[in-house]
Structure 1
Amino acid sequence: MMQYLVFRLYGPMASWGEAAVGGDRPSGLTPSRSAVLGLLGAALGIKRDDVSRLDALRAEVGIAVKAYSCGSLMRDYHTAQVPSQDRKRTFYSRKDELSVEKEKLNTVLSSRDYRSDGYWVVAVWLWQESEFTLDMLEAALKKPAFTPYLGRKACPLAVPVTPRLVAFELKEALDTSFPPILFSHEQDRRWLGLGNTVTYLWQGTADDLGEYEGVQSCQVWDEPISREPWQFSARQVHQLTLVEE
């Protein structure tokens, strides 16, 4: 038994980035590690260029997810204008970026995927003692320094994340109950189309969730290395799908 910080994520749209090829921007079914770390970093007020604190957060925080619903796929055919690459100039805002001469603007076409009406519970823990504590993360999620979002800035949270500290085994922590979004949990189930099947994903060892048959292990590329060249590395994730009564 150990201490976990658990919170929920729900919004009308979410986008959990995966490897992008060409103009396609796919979304995973569950919150990626990089997305959860980004949400925690935003809540703490860590700026994107504060590499040392971002690296510390990445090294010290473990993440597990319980997916009640991965939502339905929504695809956006997206067009955007971007200026030709200019290594001598830094753009500080979208307005600044579009202020260049029209002949230097290029139109980019892309397809962007979102998950609509997904509902997830996230548990985080600390691998080691550091400048961060679970109490600090809980306070930050209750009163974030920067606006948190679900993968993209266009995907705001629709309900409070309601963070809470619990001292349980990992599965019990992920099974923590949260207040209903509507007036009752039964209304939530009908509205979100929730079934009895849930999926757990966690890092660590395959038996951290308990002794279950059917645990699958795989590698996913969502461990952030560097934001400048936008690099990620692989990590091992364990997955189990159960039917709840």
Structure 2
Amino acid sequence: MTTLLLRLAAPLQSWGTSSRFVRRTTDRSPSRSGVIGMLAAAQGRRRTDPLEDLLELRVGVRVDQTGQMERDFQTARTRDGSTSMPLSYRFYLADAVFAVAVEGDADLLQGLDQALRAPAFPLYLGRRSCPPAGRLLHGLDGGTVRERLTAAPWLASPYVQRRHTGASIDLDIVVDCPADAEDAELVRDEPISFDPRERQYGWRTVHRDRVRVANPAIVAPTPTTDPYDPMAAFEEIS
């Protein structure tokens, strides 16, 4: 099995799966529907185009940098200024970084890798006001979603890595799993249609866990082949 690794980072991200009316919330990690929507945009698919092949992909997310929740609100009036519209609240994740592994058919993933290098439509992380920043693609490789998320280096910013004093860190992961898996959790985040006239989302099951990765900001001491032994001189005298 082949897996594509992505780094999703930006000043602001927003991954809503339960937004309603004037309150537009965000989850704490990228949604499956948001990731698949970004891949479809890179390929140049319209919102009314089918998604069957993309729905076969398995997605996993590792929270490399949690960021913080931010709230914004917007006001609006009618064009003549006579009527005020309701306040609209929007929530974002600021300064967050995620490692996202996408597992599936090798030919499909190779095509997605090429599409992400020259996307047909602009890419954004949940909302159009949230374009990705920094290096997005981190390579195609063998292995499952969990194996890639375990083996991939910590992708947090250098500042966050330096502030963490430990040689390793435990990171949360959210991975697609079968419905009968132990500790499976239901999430309504499976895109059926992005058609604006009839958006549809189904249920999927995920498993939450933690993996430990090394902190690249901590340099391990180089072992010496001939360590100094202060007691050696006494042993020679005796």
TM range (shorter): 0.7 to 0.9
SS of the equivalent of 2:89 reads: strand
In the alignment, which of 75, 89, 113 is matched to residue 138 of structure 1?
A: 113
Unaligned runs of 5+ in 1: 83-100, 209-214
Is residue 171 of structure 2 the alignment partner of residue 202 of structure 1? Answer: no
Unaligned runs of 5+ in 2: 215-238
Q: Deviations over 1:185-236 (max 9, x none)?
A: 4x3524799982311111124999xxxxxx7421111112233232211111
SS of the equivalent of 1:154 reads: coil
Is the contact between residue 9 and residue 98 of structure 2 (CA under 8 Å) also seen in structure 1? yes
In the alignment, which of 169, 174, 194 is matched to residue 149 of structure 2?
A: 174
Q: Deviations over 1:4-27 (max 9, x none)?
A: 111111001000012124421110
Is the contact between residue 180 and residue 188 of structure 1 (CA under 8 Å) also seen in structure 2? no
Equivalent in the alignment of 1:235: 204
SS of the equivalent of 2:5 reads: strand
Q: Distance in 2 between matches of 1:133 and 1:11?
A: 26
Equivalent in the alignment of 1:73: 69
User: TM-score scaled to structure 1, two decimals?
Assistant: 0.74
Once the 2 structures are TM-superposed, how far is the Cα of residue 63 of structure 1 from its aligned partner?
0.9
Is residue 57 of structure 2 the alignment partner of residue 61 of structure 1? Answer: yes
Is residue 46 of structure 2 the alignment partner of residue 47 of structure 1? Answer: yes
SS of the equivalent of 1:125 reads: strand
Q: Distance in 1 between matches of 2:88 and 2:133?
A: 26
User: TM-score scaled to structure 2, two decimals?
Assistant: 0.76
Q: Higher relative contact order at CA 8 Å, sep ≥6: structure 1 or structure 2?
A: 1
1:148 corresponds to which letter in structure 2? Answer: L
Residues 81 and 141 (structure 1), Cα distance of their counterparts in 2 relative to 1, 3 Å cut = farther
Once the 2 structures are TM-superposed, how far is the Cα of residue 102 of structure 1 from its aligned partner?
3.5
Q: Distance in 1 between matches of 2:101 and 2:153?
A: 13
Q: Distance in 2 between matches of 1:176 and 1:143?
A: 27
- The size of the alignment, in residue pairs, is 211
SS of the equivalent of 2:86 reads: strand
Q: Post-superposition, which runs of at least 4 consecutive aligned residues in structure 1 deviate over 3 A?
A: 101-106, 175-182, 190-195, 205-208, 242-245
Is the contact between residue 69 and residue 93 of structure 2 (CA under 8 Å) also seen in structure 1? yes
Residues 72 and 191 (structure 1), Cα distance of their counterparts in 2 relative to 1, 3 Å cut = farther
Is the contact between residue 141 and residue 163 of structure 1 (CA under 8 Å) also seen in structure 2? no
The within-5 A match list for 1:1-245 is: 2-50=1-49, 52=50, 55-81=51-77, 102=80, 107-126=85-104, 133-177=108-152, 185=158, 187-190=159-162, 196-205=169-178, 216-227=183-194, 228-244=197-213
SS of the equivalent of 1:134 reads: helix
SS of the equivalent of 2:12 reads: coil
Q: Distance in 2 between matches of 1:170 and 1:81?
A: 47
Q: Distance in 1 between matches of 2:165 and 2:75?
A: 32
Once the 2 structures are TM-superposed, how far is the Cα of residue 137 of structure 1 from its aligned partner?
0.5
Asked which structure has the greater CA Rg, the reply is 2
Q: Distance in 2 between matches of 1:199 and 1:59?
A: 24
Q: Distance in 2 between matches of 1:192 and 1:23?
A: 38
- Of 103-112 and 233-242, more deviation after overlay is shown by 103-112
Q: Distance in 2 between matches of 1:38 and 1:138?
A: 15
1:49 corresponds to which letter in structure 2? Answer: T
